Amino acid sequence: MTNKTVENQRLTVKMETPMPYEWSIGRYGSRFFQEIKEKSRFIGIRCPECNKVYVPPRRVCGPCFKELDELVPLPNRGKITAFSIVNYPFNDPNTGAQRPIPYTYGYIQIEGADNIFSHIINETDLDKIKVGMSVKAVFKEKDEMEGHINDIKYFDIVE
């Protein structure tokens, strides 16, 4: 799964595994990855009707059915709203191989956003993780970034 250059205006994610699909990320989604690479921060988008800020940014607010265009820079920090430590093996349809376990699947409220961002939290010890804890995104080195959700390595607990 690679993008040769993140600087391209319209990024796609391409699978090179035996399922040859290619999915468009869209204008604002591409910008999300470009912002991570250029400024090590997130970018969201505000709905002019309900005022909600969505991250990752997308072109339409579902409930209002309105087109969005007001991008809002957001810090790479947030709070855990829910999590689960995945402890059973399964085949990952992205790779065809077994997903490495255990890992922590987390929902994170990014500071300044109204929806919730799903990603991986870098803590699998149940005694060290709790709903409400503050977390910070850890990014890949810039020259390793591919315009892919993996450009965010994981979120670290900062309390």
| Residue 66 binds to another protein (criterion: CB under 8 A) | no
The answer to whether residue 21 forms part of the interface with another protein (CB under 8 A) is yes
User: Least distance from C-beta 158 to another protein, angstroms?
Assistant: 19
**60 lines the binding site for another protein (CB under 8 A):** no
Written as one letter, the residue type at 51 is N
Of these, 6, 13, 47, 74, which contacts another protein (CB under 8 A)? 13
Residue 37 CA to residue 45 CA, distance in Å, equals: 18
17 binds another protein (CB under 8 A): no
Measured distance CA(46)–CA(116) in Å, rounded: 14
> Smallest distance from the beta carbon of 7 to another protein, in angstroms?
18
Which string of b and e fits 19-53 if b means at least 16 CB within 10 Å?
A: eeeeeebbebbbbbbbbbbeeeebbbbbbeeeebb
Q: Which of 7, 72, 79 is nearest to 37 (CA)?
A: 7
Q: Give the three-state DSSP class for 29.
A: helix
Query: How far is Cα 140 from Cα 47, in angstroms, rounded to an integer?
Result: 30
Q: Which of 59, 1, 104, 51 is nearest to 12 (CA)?
A: 1
Looking at residues 80 to 139 of the shown chain, list those that interact with another protein (rule: CB under 8 A): 81-88, 90-94, 99, 105-107, 115-120, 126, 130-132
* Residue 150 interacting with another protein (CB under 8 A): yes
Q: Is 73 among the residues that bind another protein (CB under 8 A)?
A: no
CB of 26 to another protein, least distance (A): 8
The C-alpha R_g of the chain, in whole angstroms, comes to: 16
Least separation in angstroms between residue 62's CB and another protein is 5
For residue 58, state whether it binds another protein (rule: CB under 8 A): yes
Site for another protein, rule CB under 8 A = 13, 21, 23, 25, 29, 54-56, 58, 62, 81-88, 90-94, 99, 105-107, 115-120, 126, 130-132, 149-150
